[in-house]
Structure 1
Amino acid sequence: MSQELQRSAWEHAMRYVKPGDSVRLYQFSAFLQNNYMKLQFAGTLDSPLQGKVRNSIGTNSLKQLDNCLKQQTVFFQKTFGKQFVGSFGRPGEDIARSEVFASLQKIGDDIAGRPAQDKVVLLVSDMLENSDFGSFYSANQVRTLDPAAELQKVEHKQLFANLGGARVYVHGAGLVSGAAQGAYRSGNTLQKLEAFWREYLQRSNATLESFGTPALTVDIR
């Protein structure tokens, strides 16, 4: 993924995350050394005190608390940012396999039962499965899918996830690199890719809010 697209993904995340949010960063599995599915970061930003609770605390204590919360925000951005950048593939690194379905199942296992008023997933991925299940590529190009047929295969293999009612934003869909870089991707091909994932996510207890091909062009809400 280009530096520009990486930066855009980071900016989307930072505009959305606010005090009181719990943030978890997962790295998808890939057929590379040390690129197994893993939780890269987990943390919660504390909310500032409000109303009567805040008014009941002395001025010096409030100053210390406010300063602590500011430092927490800086620490979060620095620590999360380092892990976020490190999750991307390195320039020129050709990833032979990618297990999007299996990764989403494991993410769902982690987040589905977590208490939260609202769950949002920023999914930074080309969304091109390339595993033992099958490949969304053909002749070094993105394959034009038959969404209904692919969904039947997913159901047969029991690869739907449970994402706990999350709203999903995709950034990077249809992006190709290596030998396929620069290959033509028709609007019809990308529309069918989106149609497949919209239905997949619906059947995985989630809602597709926006599908960036490749750039996400709406703010996360």
Structure 2
Amino acid sequence: MLIQVLRRAAGVAGVCLLALASAAHAQSGEIPSCYAANQLPLPAQSVKRELFVVIDQTTVLDAALTNALGRQLQALVVPGTRFRIFSFSAFSQGRYLQPLGSGTLEPPLTDTSVRNATAVGKLKALDACLKSQWSYGTKLAAKAVGEAIAGSTDSLAKSDVLSSLAAVSKAIRDEPTGATKTVLVVSDMLENSSITSFYAKDRMRQINPADEAHKVEKANVQADFAGADVYVMGAGIVPEPAGGGKGALNYRTPQALEALHTFWQGFFDKSHARLVEFGMPALLSPIK
């Protein structure tokens, strides 16, 4: 479902709200609780994963990477997941960090003692609601990601990757559920801001990770991901020059990519995160 929606790059027809959704819920964008609607207590540890998807709108994905992103999300946006989706690009150009969609997909009621003590009609209503909730939630997530991808462009002059990730980390740190925290960053990871620039003459340059880390420290950019697992997709992507014929200018050397990886490894280590995979540009394994 997510893959098909992303292929249309946000060309999603109107999504029907759950029958139980109130006007307040619809306006806030939150997914209504099936357990609350049926006056049943939530199962213990109902949220097993906090998923944060952060999309850099200065990074344009091709069809293969868009489909790969859809496959990753399809396996992640499942019952027991609370998801939050953000987009960002350049603060100075009005493309500041903004939330696009969020919601919680509740797990099924598997506790035998509770099911046996609950009326059959209420159980059927709960199970039907959870099925509808999952359908609505996956469409909501796909629509938010699709909108972010559709708004991506390589025409923006700046990209505030560091500041945006630092801002997102505060939301990650403040989530109190105790669930596994997973962060998927979709970005070329090429900073181009007042802090520093990873470009030279419109091309990705080979950076010195230690020098760049010093610039970040000097700018007082601080992040705390509270032990989250971080996956990056799209690192090192540089769009082909307009008009073509200059593909050699966009060649990224293994040394330049490794330096980029080393810088971000250090940044996430210092920010209490575990950089599990740094896709240059694709992730080679499913997110766990």
- Residues 33 and 146 from structure 1, CA distance in 2 versus in 1: closer, same or farther, beyond 3 angstroms? closer
1:99 aligns with 2:160: yes
CA distance in 2, matches of 1:99, 1:53: 49
- Mapping of residues 200-219 of structure 1, within 5 Å: 200-219=267-286
- Residues 91 and 110 from structure 1, CA distance in 2 versus in 1: closer, same or farther, beyond 3 angstroms? closer
CA contact (8 A) 2:198 2:205 kept: yes
Counterpart secondary structure, 2:136: helix
Unaligned runs of 5+ in 2: 1-60
CA contact (8 A) 1:160 1:200 kept: no
Q: CA deviation at 1:128?
A: 0.4
Structure 2 equivalent of residue 80 of structure 1: 141
- Residues 92 and 107 from structure 1, CA distance in 2 versus in 1: closer, same or farther, beyond 3 angstroms? closer
- Bigger mean CA offset, 182-191 vs 50-59: 50-59
Of 163, 170, 180, 1:109 maps to: 170
CA contact (8 A) 1:128 1:174 kept: yes
- Bigger mean CA offset, 18-27 vs 165-174: 18-27
Structure 1 equivalent of residue 97 of structure 2: 37
CA contact (8 A) 2:78 2:134 kept: no
- Residues 148 and 93 from structure 1, CA distance in 2 versus in 1: closer, same or farther, beyond 3 angstroms? closer
CA distance in 2, matches of 1:64, 1:109: 37
CA contact (8 A) 2:77 2:138 kept: no
Structure 2 equivalent of residue 143 of structure 1: 205
Of 96, 108, 113, 1:48 maps to: 108
Q: CA deviation at 1:178?
A: 5.2
Q: CA deviation at 1:95?
A: 1.8
Q: CA deviation at 1:149?
A: 1.1
CA distance in 2, matches of 1:210, 1:93: 24
Q: What TM-score, normalized by structure 1, do the two folds share? A: 0.93
Deviations 1:111-151 (A, max 9, x none): 20212321110000000001111211112221111111111
Unaligned runs of 5+ in 1: none
* Root-mean-square deviation (Å): 1.9
Of 179, 187, 195, 2:241 maps to: 179
1:191 aligns with 2:251: no
- Residues 17 and 31 from structure 1, CA distance in 2 versus in 1: closer, same or farther, beyond 3 angstroms? same
Structure 1 equivalent of residue 51 of structure 2: none
Of 132, 151, 157, 2:219 maps to: 157
Deviations 1:82-109 (A, max 9, x none): 1111112547651211100110111012
CA distance in 1, matches of 2:100, 2:94: 12
State the one-letter code of the partner of 2:81. Answer: D
- Percent identity, please: 38
Structure 1 equivalent of residue 29 of structure 2: none
- Residues 198 and 93 from structure 1, CA distance in 2 versus in 1: closer, same or farther, beyond 3 angstroms? closer
- Bigger mean CA offset, 103-112 vs 179-188: 179-188
Structure 1 equivalent of residue 193 of structure 2: 131
CA distance in 2, matches of 1:192, 1:47: 42
Of 119, 123, 131, 1:62 maps to: 123
State the one-letter code of the partner of 1:175. Answer: I
CA distance in 2, matches of 1:90, 1:25: 14
Q: CA deviation at 1:75?
A: 0.4
Larger CA Rg, structure 1 vs 2: 2
State the one-letter code of the partner of 2:155. Answer: D
State the one-letter code of the partner of 1:206. Answer: A
Counterpart secondary structure, 2:241: helix
